[in-house]
A and B are shown apart, each in its own frame.
Chain A
Amino acid sequence: MSKNAQMVLHHKKKRPFNAVSVPAEVVINTIMTLFCATCIIPFIFVVIISFTSEESIRKIGYSFTPLSWGTEAYAYVMKLGDQLWISYFNSFFTTIVGTGLSVLICILYSYALFRRDFKFRSFFSFFSFFTMLFGGGLVPTYMVCKQMLGLSDNYAALIVPLLVNPFNIIVMRTFFQSSVPEELIEAAAIDGSGEYNTLFKIIIPIAKPGIATIALLNALAYWNEWFVALLYVRERAKIPLQYLLMQMQRNVEYLAKNSANMGADAAAAASSLPTQSLRMAMVVLIVIPIAFAYPFFQRYIIAGLTIGSVKG
């Protein structure tokens, strides 16, 4: 019987087998609701501020009930015109390609580490873990990426620097350890299945929740990344959304702080900017797309939840 069909069945019946008692579930729901409220209210607040007129912010500060509404911040962002959509595209493109590649590399690497019969297991474990702690720092990394690898003004510059994350490798290996029985691999080997075949046909379907989690973390990292763009991308046609907006905000903030050094025209420019609502509008513009993508990953993480006997 398929999982979905069973779920439907259970919905029609009363409580699933092996579920917690009703009072316990009420308590759980109360705790969760409270915590979730503290998580989402700030975001609602951010949305409200982003639609607050700058005048209202100047008069009464941030408030859940502003004096007047306004869209100055969004209007200011819209002045970017086509650039905004180009950057949205760049962000989507690098996030999708980057996530795909980095998940693949991560799975391959961590699967080998998961295999206890891999001769160089502890060497490569250490090899990746060591880089979590030690790195050359910003300047040498910058030099290697830009001057040696040519990561400058191209999509590779946005994708390559985030491709491998030792943390994800270790976490993925742990997922394999806790969800894949080793007998399975041995059995597959006896059946004459090649290493890659075993991994892709047998292991990956089992490890879906873990892979979805790693994919989610990678997608978030790519989507939120702006510093890499600051370092390696000057060409406007290549800059991602996060950096486009970050650049705008940093400009505004820099102007507000240092206008004394820059003469009258810069000071005038500084005082006319929607500094405060802009900051919030940017959060909204960045979070909305990734928040919509979230359920896609979540499907795999939550769907497997072991509620009672759902998994037959």
Chain B
Amino acid sequence: MSGVSVAKKAHTTVSARRKKTFMLLTMVAPGAIWLILLRYLPMFGIVMAFQDYKIYTKAPSLVNNILNSKFVGFKNFKFLFATKDSWIMIRNTLAYNAVFIVLGLLISVTFAILLNEVTKKFVAKTYQTLMFFPYFLSWVVASYFLQAFLDPTSGLLVHAMADWGMKPIDFYNTTGPWPYILTIAYIWKNTGYSVVLYLAAITGIDATQYEAASIDGASKLQQVFYVTLPHLKTMIIILFILAVGKIFNADFGLFYQVPMSSGPIMSVTQVIDTYVYRAMIATQNYSMTTAAGLLQNVVGFVCIMIANGIVNKFDKDSSLF
């Protein structure tokens, strides 16, 4: 196939190639301009992570403020490692993300494939719509829903446990259940979203491939492994790489709102983002947040480059760039 296209390309003239490149550049232009203005331009603000940011009282404007603020090296990063507990929040962030990436992937791919097998479209549509609902609910609302079950005095689950003769658990004071609760909550909220992505990718598969496989006597399961999954591969890999880039970031709402910011369970709910938020309330130091964000992104960037490098080695087509 590639040999054919090379041969064809030889026919195209230089000017045609130039024109094509130009046309494609015009396609990229609107997005690229936006990215330059709204993403790359503000990046000069990153230097604030290394500054003791002060307002330049003679002519306050962001640029003047930055130009006239003192550089303090890595001082703003220090608060992330100021306690013995630092490793706990880093461990939590990494461990939860690892579980979320793997479980999330398995469940949403499985669900997408299963949905594809539901024979009545109306039913499939209904499932898919309902699955999306948690995405509409904010974590705050979800946390109130959960509280209705777990509340130490009026919680439905707590009452039920008492009725069954079990000793009710004081959930907001007990660390044990929270890794499970948070994982389930994550799956619950995000599955609908990623199922749509995989589903749309499945929809793009040419139906004749299934027919051919079926005529060749392939079972349903074999069709999944030999037709569906290879087609989903690129999407799976891309979403995986992107998720790896966020390995040092955590969903703030999930870890702050859902456990109701309860203190005694912080050893299993504290992640980098919640730590930074709590520190921010205490100090109102904007440079420190910038520093924390920068650190998270640098780590994510390194991870993505590694993951993308590996993918590039084995399967160039599926890599990110």
A and B touch in the complex (CB under 8 A): yes
- Rounded to whole Å, the gap between the CB of A45 and the closest CB of chain B is 6
B5 x A306 contact (CB < 8 A): no
**Cα distance, A16 to B120, chains bound together (Å):** 10
Query: Does the CB pair A174–B27 fall under 8 Å?
Result: no
Given A112-B27, A163-B34, also A175-B200 (CB < 8 A): yes
Distance from A82 Cβ to chain B, minimum over Cβ atoms (Å): 26
User: B154 and A119: CB pair below 8 A?
Assistant: no
A20 to B148, CA, bound (A): 40
Inter-chain CA distance A18–B123, complex, in Å, is 18
Closest Cβ–Cβ distance, residue A174 to chain B (whole Å): 5
**Contact status of A291 and B136, CB under 8 A, knowing A32-B114, A39-B130, A133-B304:** yes
Question: In the bound complex, do residue A45 and residue B145 qualify as a contact, i.e. CB atoms below 8 Å apart?
Answer: yes
Do A196 and B44 contact each other (CB < 8 Å), given the known contacts A129-B320, A298-B129?
A: no
Contacting chain B: which of A70-78, A83-91, A143-151, A259-267?
Answer: A143-151
- Chain B residues with Cβ below 8 Å from A291 are 129, 133, 136
Total count of chain B residues near the partner, CB < 8 A: 102
Report whether over half of chain A's contact residues are helix, strand or loop; otherwise say mixed.
Answer: helix
Give the distance to chain A from B200, nearest Cβ to Cβ, in Å: 4
Is A5 part of the binding interface, using a Cβ–Cβ cutoff of 8 Å? no
- Is A290 in contact with B141, judged by CB distance below 8 angstroms? no
* A237 within 8 Å of B (CB atoms): no
Of the candidates B192, B210, B242, B293, the one whose C-beta lies within 8 Å of that of A170 is B242
Which of chain B's residues have a CB closer than 8 A to the CB of A190? 8
Whether the pair B41, A42 counts as a contact (CB closer than 8 A) is: no
Q: Are A307 and B121 in contact (CB under 8 A)?
A: yes
Q: Which of B20, B118, B127 touches A117 (beta carbons < 8 Å)?
A: B20
B25 A213 Cβ-Cβ under 8 A: no
CB distance from B287 to the nearest CB of A (A): 10
Alpha-carbon gap, A46 to B146, bound state (A): 12
Q: For chains A and B in complex, what number of residue pairs have CB atoms within 8 angstroms?
A: 305
| Minimal Cβ-Cβ distance residue in B for A177 | B234
Q: How far is the CA of A199 from the CA of B245 in the complex (A)?
A: 31
- Using a CB-CB cutoff of 8 Å, which residues 33-64 of chain B contact chain A? 34-35, 37-46, 48, 61-62
Interface assignment of A227: CB less than 8 Å from any CB of chain B: no
Q: Report the minimum CB–CB distance from B270 to chain A (whole Å).
A: 22
Q: Is the CB of A306 within 8 A of B34?
A: no
Interface string of B106-147 (1 = CB under 8 A from A): 000001001111110101111111111111111011101101
Q: Across the two chains, which residue of chain B brings its CB closest to A133?
A: B297
Of residues B188, B239, B321, which shows the largest number of chain A Cβ atoms within 10 Å of its Cβ? B321
Contact of B144 among A21, A38, A62, A224 (CB under 8 A): A62
Q: A139-B286, A290-B136 are in contact. Are A279 and B200 (CB under 8 A)?
A: no
Closest residue of chain B to A20 (Cβ to Cβ) is: B117
Chain A CB within 10 A, most for which of B21, B27, B137, B200: B200
Taken together as a complex, chains A and B put the C-alpha atoms of A307 and B112 apart, in Å, by 13
Check if A283 sits within 8 Å of B137, measured CB to CB.
yes
Interface string of A110-134 (1 = CB under 8 A from B): 0111010111101011111101111
Q: Contacts A136-B43, A283-B137 hold; do A294 and B148 have CB atoms under 8 A apart?
A: no
Which A residues are CB-close (under 8 A) to B196?
213, 216-217, 301
CA gap between A108 and B31 in the complex, in Å: 8
Q: Is the CB of A295 within 8 A of B129?
A: yes
Contact B35 A25 (CB under 8 A): no
Q: Is A311 an interface residue (CB 8 A)?
A: yes
Is A1 an interface residue, CB under 8 A from the partner? no
Query: Which chain B residues lie closer than 8 Å to A206 at the CB level?
Result: 204
Least CB separation from B46: chain A residue: A136
Q: Which residues of B contact A143 (CB under 8 A)?
A: 42, 61-62
Could you tell me if B234 and A112 are in contact, using CB atoms closer than 8 angstroms?
A: no
Residue among A45, A109, A145, A186 having the largest count of chain B Cβ atoms under 10 Å: A109
Name the contact of A311 in the complex, choosing from B127, B188, B207, B300 (C-beta under 8 A).
B207
A160 to B9, CA, bound (A): 39
Given A60-B154, A140-B43, A149-B37, A305 and B202 touching (CB < 8 A)? yes
Answer whether A171 and B136 are a contact pair too, CB < 8 Å, given A28-B117, A137-B42, A209-B200: no
- The answer to whether A309 has its CB under 8 Å from any CB of chain B is yes
The listed residue (A20, A131, A178) touching B234 by CB distance below 8 A is A178
Contacts of B27 in A (CB 8 A): 108-109, 111-112, 195-196, 199
Contact B154 A61 (CB under 8 A): yes
Instruction: Output the nearest chain A residue to B18 by Cβ-Cβ distance.
Output: A119
The 8 Å CB contact of A301, one of B1, B193, B199, B235, is: B199
Q: How far is the CA of A312 from the CA of B206 in the complex (A)?
A: 10
Write out the residue numbers on chain A whose beta carbons fall within 8 Å of the beta carbon of B31: 105-106, 108-109, 128, 164, 169
Judge whether A194 is part of the interface by a CB distance below 8 angstroms.
yes
Q: Are A144 and B37 in contact (CB under 8 A)?
A: yes
B321 touches A126 (CB 8 A): yes
Contacts of A156 in B (CB 8 A): none
Q: Which residues of chain B come closer than 8 Å to A118, judged between CB atoms?
A: 21, 24
In the complex with contacts A61-B154, A131-B39, A310-B207 CB distance below 8 A: yes
Q: A25-B119, A36-B130, A195-B27 are in contact. List 16 more A-B contacts (CB 8 A).
A: A18-B214, A24-B117, A42-B142, A46-B137, A61-B151, A108-B31, A136-B39, A140-B44, A160-B38, A175-B200, A186-B8, A283-B138, A294-B129, A301-B199, A304-B203, A308-B210
What are 20 inter-chain pairs, A to B, with CB distance below 8 A? A25-B119, A32-B115, A36-B126, A39-B131, A61-B151, A108-B30, A133-B245, A137-B42, A137-B293, A139-B286, A140-B42, A140-B62, A145-B38, A175-B235, A199-B27, A283-B141, A290-B136, A291-B129, A302-B124, A307-B117
